[in-house]
A and B are shown apart, each in its own frame.
Chain A
Amino acid sequence: MAQRPQLLKKCLEAQPVFQKRCRAMATSASNADVTTGSIKQLQGDLRSGARSAVEVAKEYLERVAKTEPSVRSFLHVAEESALEQAAAIDRAIEGGKALGPLAGVPIGVKDNICTKGLPSTGGSRILENFTPPYDATAIARLKAAGAVIIGKMNCDEFGMGSSTENSGYHITANPWDLTRVPGGSSGGSAAGVAAGQVMASLGSDTGGSIRQPASFCGVVGLKPTYGLVSRYGLMAYASSLDCIGPLANSVEDAAIVLGAMAGHDEADSTSEKQKVPDYTANLRPASELDSRPLAGVRLGLISETMGEGVDPGVVTAIQAAAAHYEQLGAVVEEVSLPSFRQGLPAYYVLAPSEASSNLSRYDGVRYGLRVEGDELTSMYGKTRDQGFGAEVKRRILMGTYALSAGYYDAFYKRAQQVRTLIQRDFQSVLSKYDALLSPTVPTTAYQIGEKTEDPLSMYVGDIMTVNVNLAGLPALVVPCGLDQGLPVGLQLVGPAFGEAELLRLGHVFEQTNSTWRNADLPELVVAR
């Protein structure tokens, strides 16, 4: 913790003069600094020969080099392998071969997802020199679809945290305000997309770790239904809740990335055998939409998420979003989830319980950090003491306690019962509504260091996201406005395997929401 003021100072020094710039979400690819544009546009450019995959990769790597000193969203930039992958795409284009849906797309990968030959630390010092000999299934599928892996994104250690301040390596800044956190635990993945360092990224979401940083950084984030994307190769935090999902500049990009990695995987026994639809099939551009494109759609606004403890600016933005949906033809009604407030405590029993078990493998015996000791237990103790950060230790202790003989029924078992209750509540409400609306987080991005001394205050920030994980449902976060210059994300929760409809609802919103199109992103590159 002693290093924090220094880091903060560094971040502040790196903070540029704010230059107002029109953030063109999916229109311009001409700006030399801010590399934007959609995946589909990029595919068009590559096919027409307007740009090569290597040129695109270089553009992004340059952008990374310029912005990284201030944002610090990466733990590892994979320049060499990225250029090799891009060159392979170019050869495929030259050879007239069929291109995958992500051909040449520069992607960032959260560091808790295993990438063959690239360091994968999960943001933990205990895996400082660990390079996995295998790709996570999601990575293997992205690569097969032609993706170019730009690097590994910073995160809270093993996904435990909501600000990326629990990374064992460094703090990442929010591109909207470098003194603020990007959220977490997929903070690097969200900041990387917001800062234009990557076109899309992978995050993981156990209690909100994709959605909360997406909200803080003003990008699209999707937590898929549990079991839709294989967990094989994702460093387990809480196995029954963990999901890999995409973060992107637009709903369409997120849909394309999701489609490339979703689907059954034999290596993950909890992966579902559902057939994967084309998630882009129902995404129509604004020009093709009529005046009431969502007529017949029923949306429930979760009343428990709009009251006390939620920033007024956030409430205003969500109300505006709800009103916008009504204008689009949808019926929006307030709904109540009686079990809503019980989710957070249940989550903070279940997730640490599983974590205490999942993190047992980091023992210094086979890989990663080993601190020698006089005998076995002291080696274990020293290795885990030096390798794990404070938050990880806290959760291991909480989980170990909750699973101990004599406490199991009072904690773990009871939390599982709450989980069932929450699932039932969602089920009953989702039988009446196509999707549920809520804020993603009660606040916008807070200051770096603001909540690190009070873990509970940070846990409370997860109140709107954890229930979705407990119920295993999909949820999409779409930027819906600004509160005092900081992004607010709208969360849409759908029924299990209802991703296609969620994406359609998010896409229509995004295509028609003019307030967001004019949002301002500060210029990140230090003035030359």
Chain B
Amino acid sequence: MKLPGMHAQGVRRGQALKAVAEGLTAQDASAGLEEKYEAVIGIETHVQLNTATKAFCRCRSQYGAEPNTNVCPVCMGLPGALPVLNARVLESAVKLGLALHCTIAPRSKFDRKQYFYPDLPKGYQISQFDIPVAQSGWVEVDLPVEFGGGRRRFGVTRAHLEEDAGKSVHGGGGRLSGSGFSQVDLNRAGVPLIEIVSDPDMRTGLEAAEYGAEIQRIVRYLGISNGNMAEGSMRCDVNVSVRPRGRERFGTKVEIKNMNSFSAMQRAIDFEIARQSALLEAGKDGEIVLETRLWEEGAQRTISMRVKEGLADYRYFPEPDLPEIELTADYLEDVRASLPELPDEKRRRYAAAGLSMQDVLVLANNSDVAAYFERVLGAGADIKAAANWMMGDITKYCKAEKILITDVAMAPETLAELIALIGDGTISGKIGKEILPDLLKEGGGAKQLVEKKGLLQISDDSAVEALVDEVLAAHPKELELFRGGKKKLQGFFTGQVMKKSGGRVNPALMQKVLAAKLNGQ
């Protein structure tokens, strides 16, 4: 099981600050800057939907196919071809809008966003301008315990539908400069996207990363996207500005792109905050300009890609080829009823059941882990016992084997069975721990394995008495010492009986019998 290791990266913030200080100014940039300045962060997230076909045609929406094989007159922008909205795409957008607590527009529309680029076949992107499907929502996240924890609500300005562009491939490597030719792959052209625009509510890289991670969890819980950042199915563009604390007006914002993980996002933002804070502190406000910067993973820094000269004019106007989208109250209710439990709801439920926030975050935040855990609970297991197993031995095993929860052979129902066997005294907790690796590796039933290995707990009075008698008979010296007042030796006898039974003796019963016998009854 891969635990969210991203938070460990948070400590690098100090390093970023240091790098900035060394690179940009001679002064000690880290001293007091965080107290003095505050960052304002907003995020635009593009989520690629996992519908079988594209947004406006019947081509397959498939990652990794041979270039230009999933194309047709519509997504190639041939003369006379017209778009037709994929109903699934709309449904996904409504689901996401509801999950983000947005207001869903009963009437919305598509607009054309116009610009020329070779991978944009029609010379415009079908998008939504002034009336998005969803607006004015929020997400709530629980910050990691190791960073002080706490709950935050971040506003969602809007979520709208649009189509993806194709992919430009530049001859002689991925870069445009210096390549002798460029090729265009239109497989991705027309693949449905949802763009989610946050309010400028985040203040740190950690908060921004948590916001992004929560969006990822939500789309995965909803099953509308795989949310994979490395493949580009989820892309986050971040706007960062810094201002002196207490000032209301925003500073000049800088856009950061090219982060392919949440940990990279957090580091990029923290680097950028430190860079801008240092510039402000040095009185070089003018060097913070409206620009797009790229995160360089290797160098752990942002570099300027292009300075924005005025606002681009996309000449938006209503898409005349598509009728307005009308959503009835019935339709919205149907979609709402179909929503699964969302990550935050799950976290609240686990917390209410008495789990620690640490456990809650691990168990609820990864959809695979959560799905496994839910099945364990569904098979009747006690939530705390189940959480202990998940957080303890199972996590340890997965880490050691470098596998994910989805890779273990043990069915979640088997864990529930194991917990029940311990609970009803069929086996001891110790035996349970012993057989767990076998179950995780080989699968099969817990009771079956216990029986096969002859590990059933000895709970029969006479059998336990016989065991105790044997041990006492074998250690007359220790028995004498015990009866002479060295009561500490009870632990020794306990160990001996346990050893003799191969760990199978019922500990409570054994303690009772042992105590009686030791005390001469």
Contact = CB atoms under 8 A, between A and B. Distances in A.
Interface of A: 113-114, 120, 122, 127, 130, 132-134, 136, 231-236, 238-240, 266-270, 353-354, 356-357, 359-361, 363, 365-367, 376, 380, 400, 403-405, 408, 412
A239 B84 contact: no
B380 interface: no
A412 B316 CA distance: 11
B79 A357 contact: no
A127 B313 CA distance: 28
Nearest to B186: A366
B78 A354 contact: no
A361 B323 contact: no
A114 B80 contact: yes
Contacts of A133: 73, 78
Contacts of A113: 80
Given A233-B80, A367-B78, A361 B121 contact: yes
B87 to A, nearest CB: 12
Contact of B82 (A122, A269, A360, A376): A269
Interface stretch (B111-119, B301-309, B430-438, B504-512): B111-119
B429 interface: no
Interface string B71-86: 0010011111111110
A523 to B, nearest CB: 37
Contacts of B316: 403
22 contacts: A120-B79, A132-B80, A236-B79, A240-B320, A267-B84, A268-B82, A269-B321, A270-B82, A353-B317, A354-B317, A357-B112, A357-B123, A357-B315, A360-B116, A365-B118, A365-B121, A366-B76, A366-B77, A366-B121, A400-B315, A403-B316, A403-B317
A408 B80 contact: no
A113 B122 CA distance: 18
A361 B80 contact: no
A235 B80 contact: yes
Contacts, number: 99
B82 A380 contact: no
B315 A405 contact: yes
Nearest to A401: B315
A122 B323 CA distance: 26
Contact of B315 (A122, A365, A404): A404
A356 B112 CA distance: 12
Contacts of B323: 269-270
A134 B73 contact: yes
A270 B321 CA distance: 6
A403 B85 CA distance: 25
Given A269-B85, A269-B322, A361 B317 contact: no
A240 to B, nearest CB: 4
A285 B78 CA distance: 44
A376 to B, nearest CB: 7
B124 interface: yes
Nearest to A240: B320
Contact of A408 (B123, B124, B317): B317
Contacts of A130: 79
A266 B317 contact: no
B383 interface: no
A103 B200 CA distance: 66
B315 A403 contact: yes
Interface string B437-467: 0000000000000000000000000000000
Contact of B81 (A122, A232, A270): A232
Contacts of B73: 132-134
Interface of B: 73, 76-85, 112, 114, 116, 118, 121-124, 184, 311, 313, 315-317, 320-323
A231 B316 CA distance: 23
B119 to A, nearest CB: 9
Contact of A232 (B80, B85, B121, B315): B80
Given A269-B321, A270-B320, 8 more contacts: A120-B79, A132-B78, A232-B80, A266-B84, A269-B85, A354-B320, A357-B124, A359-B123
Contacts of B84: 266-269
A400 B85 CA distance: 26
Contacts of B121: 361, 365-366
A120 B73 CA distance: 14
Given A269-B322, A269-B323, A363-B116, A412 B317 contact: yes
A365 B84 CA distance: 24
Contacts of B184: 365-366
Contacts of B76: 366
A54 B292 CA distance: 66
Contact of A361 (B77, B83, B85, B311): B77
A113 B121 CA distance: 20
Given A360-B123, A412-B317, A235 B79 contact: yes
A416 to B, nearest CB: 9
Given A361-B123, A363-B123, A267 B82 contact: yes
A236 B80 CA distance: 6
Q: Which of B81, B83, B112, B322 has the most CB of A within 10 A?
A: B81
Given A269-B85, A269-B323, A234 B317 contact: no
B79 A127 contact: yes
B82 to A, nearest CB: 5
Contacts of B123: 357, 359-361, 363
B324 to A, nearest CB: 11
Given A269-B85, A361-B123, A234 B80 contact: yes
Contacts of A360: 114, 116, 122-124
A334 B116 CA distance: 50
A357 B80 contact: no
A361 B116 CA distance: 9
A405 B313 CA distance: 6
A297 B264 CA distance: 75
Contacts of B112: 357
A400 B123 CA distance: 13
Contacts of A408: 315, 317
Contact of B317 (A136, A233, A357): A357
Contacts of A127: 79
Nearest to A227: B323
A409 to B, nearest CB: 12
Nearest to A113: B80
Nearest to A127: B79
A266 B56 CA distance: 12
Nearest to A400: B315
Q: Sorted from nearest, which 8 A-B pairs have the closest CB atoms? A: A360-B123, A239-B320, A240-B320, A403-B315, A233-B80, A235-B79, A361-B77, A405-B313
Contacts of A267: 82, 84
A366 B322 CA distance: 24
A236 B123 CA distance: 13
Nearest to A412: B317
A268 B116 CA distance: 25
Contacts of A365: 118, 121, 184
A232 to B, nearest CB: 5
Nearest to A232: B82
Contacts of A132: 73, 78-80
B321 to A, nearest CB: 5
A266 B83 CA distance: 10
Nearest to B182: A376
A65 B76 CA distance: 37
Contact of A239 (B78, B311, B321): B321
A396 B82 CA distance: 20
A111 B116 CA distance: 26
Contacts of B81: 232-233
Contacts of A240: 320
Nearest to B73: A134
Contacts of B313: 404-405
Given A134-B73, A361-B122, A122 B79 contact: yes
A321 to B, nearest CB: 35
B116 A357 contact: no
Contacts of A353: 317
